[in-house]
Each structure stands twice: as C-alpha cells, then as structure tokens.
Structure 1
Amino acid sequence: MDRNKLQLGLIIVSFILSGCLSQEIRNRNSQGQNIICFGDSVTFGYGVAPGDDYPAYLQKLTPRPVINAGVDGDTTFLALERLQNDVLDKDPRLVIVEFCGNDFIKKIPKEDTLKNLSIIIDRIQDKGAMVALVDISSGMFFQEYRNAFRKLAHEKGAIFIPVVLSKIITNPAMKSDFLHPNARGYKLVAKRIYQGILQYIK
C-alpha cells in the first residue's frame, strides 16, 4: 500500500476515534439554565434515600442546576402527559431522557416506545434545549432497545449515552434490588452520564 494512503487512512481513523467526525448535536448553544433529569424509577432514585439518586450525584459534578424529574413507574405514555409541566416549563438547557424499563415490563410495543420518545425529543428540541438519550440496557436486560435508541439519537441530533447500568445490575454490591442501583450504583450512573454530557455543558 502507498505510504501516503496509509498515513491518510490512519489520520481518518484517529479522527473518528477522537470524535472529530461525530454528529452535530441540536441546540448545542442552548440558552436554557437547567439540566433536567427526566425519567422513571432509575432517575427518581428508587431504593435509596433522597440525595443518593443519580441526579443528586450529578449536581455535585456540575455547577449548573440539576432538577430531578423522575417518577417511579413512569412509561413513555405517562411521560408525555407531564412533559410540559415537569420539563418544558423549567427552563431546560439539557434534558437527560431515561425511559423504557416500564414500557418493557408492561409489554408496551417497542414501536410505541420509540414513537413516544421521538415526540418527547422533538418537543424538547423545539423548546431550544439539548437532549441526551440514556440507554439502560445491561447484559440480558433491554438489549433489543440499544441499537434502536442509538439510531434514534443519531437521527434527532441528540447525545447518546450507552449502557449506563453496565456492571451495576449484574453486581449485587451495586444494586438495591433486581433492577435498581443502590447509592454506590447511582453514583456510578451519575459519573457515566456526566462523562457523556460534559463537552456540551461547559
């Protein structure tokens, strides 16, 4: 292979790996003030005391105000009903969207879940805020959603944060029950989410 072509190829690969060719995130210059964590029991902090939920740990990592808009048991249908009051009216800069567990448990078709998430993302972005879509798949849990979430985030110009529960739900020392982290687990979730959003909230 020609040496120049090889060097060019290596440069292209390095750009890809470093994220220089990453997608454009919609509303990156958002003028909103708040980071809003919009989700179900994983966002709410099921199984731990107040202050041990992931939004509380996230608040310790960023000077920007963080609002916990998680509701235990929420589906994407219920999330749509409270989107205006709990998110859009709260001056969002970035909304971290975490849903699908209850849709899966209640046997809501995946197509409906993705449709609802698409609407949620559109409405948040129309408000002028960024969206980060969280993938809670881990091991055998919710794997069928992972690629669909990644694709949806790419299509919408949203940040994609993969497998935040990896090695948490499968580790008894990191969880409070079968599906929820404990304080130690939520702290790790917050760190992973922070790493995913850091470059967009500076």
Structure 2
Amino acid sequence: MKLITSVLLSTLLILSGCSKTQEIPDAEIGKGIITWGDSLTQGAGSTGGNNYPMILQQLSSIKVLNEGVSGETSTGIRDRMVGAPKLYKYPVVIWAGRNNYLNPQKVKDDIDVMVTRLRHKHYLVLSILNADRETEIKGSNYYNVIKELNADLAATYGDHFIDIRSYLVSEYNTKDPFDIANFNNDVTPHTLRSDNLHLNNAGYNLVAKKIYERINILSAGL
C-alpha cells in the first residue's frame, strides 16, 4: 500500500510541476533532456499538454523532463538544479530570470552557477520575455533592463544562447492590427500569447521548434 501511495504521489508531482525535482530513471529511458524554468517552461497558458518541453519531446523523439515551476525566480530555479546533482549529466535548457529580471546581476550569477555545475557544453539558455504592458514595451525603463540583460546573456553564452524573445516578436501576423502594434512595441504578438506574457499553444510550439533547430548541441551529450 505504501508503495502504491508513493508511486501516485510521484506521478502527481510531475503532472503538477511542483518544486520537487524528478529524476529521469536511467534504466527506463537511458537518455533525456532537462528543461529548467518557471511558468513559461511549465507551460502556463497552454492547453492539452502543449508546453514547449512536451512539443520538443515529440519533435526530437528524446525524453524531455519539464522542470518548470510557476513563479520561481532564477534563484529558485538554480537552487532546485543545484539540489539535484544526479541530473547534472543531462543536457539542459535554461529559461530563467523572468520573475526577477529587475536584479539582472543576480539572474546572470544564478545562470552562471547552473551552467558551471553541469561541467559539460550540452546546454541552451533562452532570453527573457517582456510583457505587453506599459512598463515593459519598447522605450520603457523595464524594457531597457530586459534588453540589456539579454544582450549580456548573448555575449556570455554565444552559440548556446537563443534570443527567443526577438524570435517570437518577429513571428507576428502582418495582417493583424494588434500583432502589428505589438511588433512596433517589440513585444510577443497577441496571437502567440494567452495573456500579456504567457504563451498559447502556437507560441510554445514556436519555442520548441526554435530549440529543436539547436538540438545538435543538446543531443551531442546523449
């Protein structure tokens, strides 16, 4: 009975995206990719399980573990990863800093710790999204903070960095007036969002496809 209860609890933890880190069972899967992040990794705003890790798994035919926890800062994400040394060997995607980008040095330090702990080069770092609100659109102070932080991450991680923010902005519908306004404000188009920040199925699908373009960086570690 205790064994059954334990299995059920583990399943619920994975499905809910809670803060307990799950390990890919080597004997069962043999290889996999870990995606560390917050609600954007968890898949907030998606329906039918169409978060980007699940879509990436379908595209790559490689097991992808979703370690996204809603509301976490880069420090929370870092702490979960650091606390799971058995996962260091796996290729990873890091999408961290959205919830504490106003402390850019902390975000950079946290990501540096995560990458350093890996001790391998099979990782990708994604840029931070800005929301469709007055304080984060083009020309605002917070927008400038995000842009500068992303530029620093790009300079640090080079080919291991994906500017997912700029890519999503570029995928606007040229016939949709709201998307055109979003493009002019340099923010993710509303046709790819479920709210002013989080993506919808279409948005997460684009994220997964963009990562899949760099799958060689990740799969080389498997």
Determine if the TM-score, normalized by the shorter chain, exceeds 0.5: yes
Deviation at 1:129, TM superposition (A): 6.0
State the percentage of identical aligned residues.
Answer: 27
Query: Using the alignment, how far apart are the partners of 2:151 and 2:74 within structure 1?
Result: 18
Amino acid aligned to 1:130: H
CA deviation vs aligned residue, 1:98-118 (integer Å, no higher than 9, x gap): 0111012xx3x2111111111
Unpaired runs of 5+ residues, structure 2, are 1-29, 131-136, 172-186
Query: Using the alignment, how far apart are the partners of 1:129 and 1:163 within structure 2?
Result: 20
Query: Using the alignment, how far apart are the partners of 1:80 and 1:174 within structure 2?
Result: 28
- 1:101–1:61 distance in 2 versus 1, CA, 3 Å: same
Q: Does the CA contact (< 8 Å) of 1:38 and 1:96 recur in 2?
A: yes
Q: Does the alignment pair 1:112 with 2:116?
A: no
Q: Does the alignment pair 1:147 with 2:151?
A: yes
Q: Does the CA contact (< 8 Å) of 2:192 and 2:199 recur in 1?
A: yes
Query: Using the alignment, how far apart are the partners of 2:219 and 2:58 within structure 1?
Result: 14
Matched with 2:39 is 41
Q: Does the CA contact (< 8 Å) of 1:77 and 1:116 recur in 2?
A: yes
Deviation at 1:56, TM superposition (A): 0.6
Matched with 2:21 is none
* More deviation, 54-63/137-146: 137-146
Matched with 2:67 is 69
CA deviation vs aligned residue, 1:45-81 (integer Å, no higher than 9, x gap): 0112351100011011112211101111111111122
Q: Does the CA contact (< 8 Å) of 2:88 and 2:117 recur in 1?
A: no
Query: Using the alignment, how far apart are the partners of 1:77 and 1:123 within structure 2?
Result: 14
- 1:47–1:159 distance in 2 versus 1, CA, 3 Å: same
Q: CA RMSD in A?
A: 2.3
> Among residues 114, 125, 147, which one is paired with 1:133 in the alignment?
125
Amino acid aligned to 1:71: V
Q: Does the CA contact (< 8 Å) of 2:126 and 2:162 recur in 1?
A: yes
Q: Does the alignment pair 1:96 with 2:93?
A: yes
**TM-score, normalization: structure 2?**
0.65
Aligned length: 162
SS at match of 2:211: helix
Q: Does the CA contact (< 8 Å) of 1:54 and 1:187 recur in 2?
A: yes
SS at match of 1:186: helix
